[in-house]
Chain A
């Protein structure tokens, strides 16, 4: 069985500061990894995904994540955050190859609050 642990439930930062949201996963097979963002009262939007290839993945809104197989991690980073990045962020995993993206396992979420 696969599982996802988001190590921080809340991360407060100041505007223009760098941020890292941590995600660890466990799975007995190869995985596909995702980060989703949820703005207040909205659905989930895909930020980025790792399927294979380069371990550094770039996504939308200036976010990037690095897949580390030995540490089973997929941490999300942004070098300079904006007030508009305030949202909840979810790390998710599906078993690959083939994705099985209809059976995502989510972490519990990290609430990123960007303060002026």
Chain B
């Protein structure tokens, strides 16, 4: 059981380039989320999804797009990378069973924009 898988683990982009961070989960979780982690800032929510075809913005959505065509996958797209998007990105998945709630995190993608 792989859990939450993120690819790539590391990426260097030039300013203005686009790329997609991949996230896949094999636990049949209905909820998926993207966070970014910056030094001294903790983790901040970028976008989230409560099911296939349903997405919404989190605290810091600007510069990022998401879509959820399947339960398993939740890619994060950077349309035109900026140095301010240099960060570590984490994908998480979870489920809604009341009384037993936990988010499972991937290993992260470290992105550097130069």
A binds B: yes
| A-side contacts of B96, CB under 8 Å | 98-99
The number of residues on chain A lying at the interface, defined by a beta carbon within 8 Å of a beta carbon of chain B, is 29
Contacts of B35 in A (CB 8 A): 104, 106
A44 touches which of B50, B99, B105 (Cβ 8 Å): B105
Nearest chain B residue, comparing its CB with the CB of A1: B59
Chain B interface residue bracket vs A: 20 to 34
Q: What's the Cα separation between A101 and B92 when bound, in Å?
A: 10
B33 touches A103 (CB 8 A): yes
Chain A neighbourhood of B101, CB < 8 A: 32, 49, 51, 94, 99, 101
With a CB–CB cut-off of 8 A, which chain A residues contact B103? 46, 101-102, 104
CB < 8 Å neighbour of B40 from A9, A92, A98, A101: A9
Whether the Cβ atoms of B105 and A43 lie closer than 8 Å is: yes
Contact with B along A76-109 (1 / 0, CB 8 A): 0000000000000010101001110111111111
Chain A min CB distance to B67 (Å): 16
Say whether B107 faces chain A, with CB atoms less than 8 Å apart: yes
CB-CB under 8 A from B43, the residues of chain A are: 44, 90, 92, 104, 106
* A residues in contact with B42, CB < 8 Å: 4, 6, 90, 106-109
- Residues of B at under 8 Å CB distance from A? 4, 31-33, 35, 40-45, 48-50, 58, 90, 92, 94, 96, 98-103, 105-108
Given A49-B102, A102-B31, A102-B49, 4 new contacts (CB under 8 A): A32-B101, A99-B101, A104-B33, A106-B35
